[in-house]
Amino acid sequence: MKVLNKNKIDAVLNRLAEQSEVFVPMQRGPQSGFFAWKSFENKTDKLALDVLNVYLPPKNVVLPQTEKMYSFQQEGVEVKIEKVYEDPNPKIIFGIRGCDAQGIACLDQAFLTRGYEDGFYKARREATTIIANACYAPGPNCFCTSMGGNPAEVPTADVLLRDAGEQGYVWESQTAKGQAATEKIADLLEDKQVTLPSAKPVTRTVNYEGVAEKLKGMFEHPIWAKYSEPCQTCGICTYSCPTCYCFDIQVKNWGEEGYRFRCYDSCMYREYTLMAGGHNPREATVERFRNRFLHKLQFFNERYGTPLCTGCGRCMVVCPAGVSIVQIINEIKEAELDA
Amino acid sequence: MKEITNQIQSIAQRLLESGQVELFMAWEKGDFDYQSKPYFARTVEESKKIVFDKYSIHNLSNALLKYRDGHEKIGIVVKGCDSRGIVRLLEDKQFQRDRLYIVGVCCPGMKDPLQAMRDNSGFNPQPESTELANKCAQCIQPNPVIYDELLGTEQPAHLQGERFGRVNAIENMPVDERYRFFADVLSKCIRCYACRQACVACNCRSCVFDETKPQWVGRETSVGDNMMYHLVRASHMAGRCIECGECERVCPVNIPLMLLNQKLIKDVDKFYGPYEAGMKYEEGAKPPLSRYKEDDPDDFI
Amino acid sequence: MPNDNTLNPLVPSIVEVIDIVDETPDVKTFYVRNETGVPFDVMPGQLAMVSLMPTGEAMFSVSWQEEKEHLQFAIKRVGLMTDELHTIEVGQKIGVRGPYGNGFPVEPCKGKDMLFIAGGIGLAPLRSFIKYCFKNRADYGKIQIIYGSRSYADLCFKDELFNQWPKEKDTEVFVTIDNPEEAWKGNVGFVPSYLEQLNPDPSGKIAVSCGPPIMIKFVLKALEKMGYTDEQVITTLEMRMKCGIGKCGRCNIGSEYICLDGPVFNLAQLKQLPPEW
| Residue B213 backbone class (left: φ over 0; alpha: ψ -120 to 50; beta: rest) | beta
Q: Which of A124, A128, A67, A65 is nearest to A94 (CA)?
A: A128
Min Cα separation C55/chain B (Å):
10
Q: Which pLDDT tens digit goes with each residue over A285-306?
A: 999 999 999 999 999 999 999 9
**Distances from the Cα of C5 to the Cα of A260, C11, C13, C98, angstroms:** 18, 9, 7, 12
- What interhelical angle do B223-237 and B257-272 show, nearest 10? 40
Contact status of A250 with chain C (Cβ, < 8 Å): yes
How far apart are the C-alpha atoms of A108 and A156, rounded to whole Å? 11
Three-state SS at A217: coil
Q: Among residues of chain C, what percentage have pLDDT more than 90? A: 83
How far apart are the C-alpha atoms of B222 and B219, rounded to whole Å? 9
Nearest to A65 among B190, B198, B254 (CB): B190
CA angle C155–C157–C160, rounded 5-degree value? 125
Is A273 within a domain? yes
**Amino acid occupying residue C192:** P
Is A339 within a domain? no
Mean pLDDT over the full length of chain B: 93
Chain C residue with CA closest to B212: the answer is: C80
Q: Which residues pair with A80 in a beta bridge?
A: A73
pLDDT at residue C59 above 90? yes
Q: Please list every residue in chain C whose beta carbon sits closer than 8 Å to the beta carbon of residue A245.
A: 247, 249
Q: Which pLDDT tens digit goes with each residue over B145-176?
A: 999 999 999 999 999 999 999 999 999 999 99
How far apart are the C-alpha atoms of C142 and C133, rounded to whole Å? 10
pLDDT at residue A11 above 60? yes
How far apart are the C-alpha atoms of C53 and A262, rounded to whole Å? 14
pLDDT band for position A236 (cuts 50, 70, 90): very high
Nearest to A119 among C8, C91, C255 (CB): C8
Q: Please list every residue in chain C whose beta carbon sits closer than 8 Å to the beta carbon of residue A279.
A: 212-213
Q: Please list every residue in chain B whose beta carbon sits closer than 8 Å to the beta carbon of residue C80.
A: 212-213
Does residue C80 contact residue C9 with C-beta atoms inside 8 Å?
no
Is A338 within a domain? no
Chain C residue with CA closest to B213: the answer is: C80
Nearest to A249 among C8, C212, C243 (CB): C243
Does residue B281 contact residue B243 with C-beta atoms inside 8 Å?
no
CA dihedral over B20, B22, B27, B32, signed as positive or negative: positive
Domain range enclosing A102: 2-333
Helices (H), chain B: 2-18, 44-47, 80-91, 113-121, 165-171, 175-186, 194-198, 223-237, 246-250, 257-272
Q: Which residues pair with A264 in a beta bridge?
A: A247
How far apart are the C-alpha atoms of A88 and A120, rounded to whole Å? 9
Chain C contact probe: residue of A116, A241, A275 with most C CBs at under 10 A: A116
Q: Which pLDDT tens digit goes with each residue over A37-70?
A: 999 999 889 999 999 999 999 999 999 999 999 9
pLDDT at residue C1 above 50? no
Nearest to B219 among A238, A239, A248 (CB): A248
The secondary structure of residue B99, as a DSSP letter, is G
Q: Please list every residue in chain B whose beta carbon sits closer than 8 Å to the beta carbon of residue A141.
A: 117, 121-122
Is A178 within a domain? yes
Cβ <8 Å between C252 and A299: yes
CA angle B188–B190–B191, rounded 5-degree value? 125
With residues binned 3-state (H G I as helix, E B as strand, rest as coil), the percentages for chain C, rounded to 5, are 25, 35, 45
How far apart are the C-alpha atoms of A307 and A294, rounded to whole Å? 10
How far apart are the C-alpha atoms of A267 and C276, rounded to whole Å? 14
Min Cα separation C256/chain A (Å):
8
pLDDT in tens, chain B (301 residues): 889 999 999 999 999 999 999 999 999 999 898 999 999 999 999 999 999 999 999 999 999 999 999 999 999 999 999 999 999 999 999 999 999 999 999 999 999 999 999 999 989 888 888 899 999 999 999 999 999 999 999 999 999 999 999 999 999 999 999 999 999 999 989 898 999 999 999 999 889 998 888 889 988 889 999 999 999 999 999 999 999 999 999 998 889 999 999 999 999 999 888 999 999 999 888 999 988 888 888 887 7
Q: First and final CA of chain C: distance in angstroms? A: 27
pTM of the predicted model, to two decimals?
0.93
Q: Please list every residue in chain A whose beta carbon sits closer than 8 Å to the beta carbon of residue C275.
A: 219
How far apart are the C-alpha atoms of A48 and A94, rounded to whole Å? 11
Q: Which pLDDT tens digit goes with each residue over A306-322?
A: 999 999 999 999 999 99
Between strands A128-133 and A159-163, the pairing is parallel
Chain B residue with CA closest to A327: the answer is: B31
Q: Which pLDDT tens digit goes with each residue over B280-292?
A: 999 888 999 988 8
Question: Chain A, 21-80: which have a CB under 8 Å from a chain C CB?
Answer: 69-70, 72, 74, 77-80
**Amino acid occupying residue B4:** I
Chains that touch C (3 or more CB pairs under 8 A): A, B
pLDDT at residue A124 above 70? yes
Map out the domains of chain C with their CATH numbers: 13-100 (2.40.30.10), 113-236 (3.40.50.80)
pLDDT at residue A225 above 90? yes
**Amino acid occupying residue B166:** R
pLDDT at residue C2 above 50? no
Chain B residue with CA closest to A234: the answer is: B194
ipTM of the complex: 0.90
How far apart are the C-alpha atoms of C135 and A93, rounded to whole Å? 56
Nearest to A248 among C79, C89, C242 (CB): C242
Contact status of C83 with chain A (Cβ, < 8 Å): no
The phi and psi torsions of C175 (rounded to 5 degrees) equal -120, 140
Nearest to B121 among A230, A313, A321 (CB): A313
Is A323 within a domain? yes
Contact status of B254 with chain A (Cβ, < 8 Å): yes
Residue C170 has a CB neighbour count (10 Å cut-off) of: 11
The rounded radius of gyration (Å) of the Cα atoms in chain A is 22
Q: Which of C76, C80, C74, C275 is nearest to A274 (CA)?
A: C80
Cβ <8 Å between A72 and C252: no
Chain C contact probe: residue of A241, A249, A271 with most C CBs at under 10 A: A249
Q: First and final CA of chain B: distance in angstroms? A: 50
Chain C residue with CA closest to A305: the answer is: C255
Q: Among residues of chain C, what percentage have pLDDT more than 70? A: 98
**Distances from the Cα of A157 to the Cα of A160, A200, B176, C149, angstroms:** 6, 21, 45, 58
The secondary structure of residue C159, as a DSSP letter, is I
Min Cα separation A28/chain C (Å):
30
Nearest to A233 among B30, B123, B197 (CB): B197
The phi and psi torsions of B277 (rounded to 5 degrees) equal -70, 145
Contact status of A65 with chain B (Cβ, < 8 Å): yes
How far apart are the C-alpha atoms of A304 and A284, rounded to whole Å? 28
Q: Please list every residue in chain C whose beta carbon sits closer than 8 Å to the beta carbon of residue B213.
A: 79-80, 83
Min Cα separation A195/chain C (Å):
44
